[in-house]
Amino acid sequence: AAVINMKKILDLQLIEPPVLYEIMKELYPVAKNCLDDDWAPSLRWTTCKFFQKMLAYLKDQWKDENISDMYAAFLERLDDSQNSIRVEAAKIIQVLFESINENQWSRTCFGYTLKSLF
């Protein structure tokens, strides 16, 4: 329920992006753990939807270290046992690429990311 509430807060824009970015330091590890929940595919799916919304909402605020860590977590979901979650994980990566500019991600990480995908 918490992940659904977090997504709803973003849908309704009840929090300013700079404030959300500050609390992401504490929120991200908890939400990331939801992506790894083996017993609840619906939780993984909902968390994917949350991350899609969150990445777009915080567009242009990311730093290289955030992106590298998040990318690794999202890439793991491309190997999920549920097809619907793999699709949503791919959408997260799409939003990630759309939400950052070229100055926010080192060329090395960007190149590695592309090699990993293809």
pTM to 2 decimals? 0.84
Helix 64-77 to helix 83-99 angle, to the nearest 10 degrees?
160
CA distance 47 to 33: 9
The predicted structure's pLDDT at residue 104: 65
- Across the range 31-52, mean pLDDT stands at 92
**In this predicted structure, what is the pLDDT of residue 103?**
66
Given a cut of 80, whether residue 115 has pLDDT beyond it is no
Phi-psi region of 112 (alpha: psi -120 to 50; beta: other; left: phi over 0): alpha
Rounded to a whole number of angstroms, the CA Rg of the chain reads: 14
| Dist. CA 60–CA 91, nearest whole Å | 18
Using DSSP, how many helices (H) and how many strands (E) does the chain show? 6, 0
User: Across residues 7-36, what is the average pLDDT?
Assistant: 92
Provide the pLDDT for residue 64: 60
The average pLDDT across 14-40 equals 90
- pLDDT bin (cut points 50, 70, 90) of residue 45 is very high
The predicted structure's pLDDT at residue 85: 95
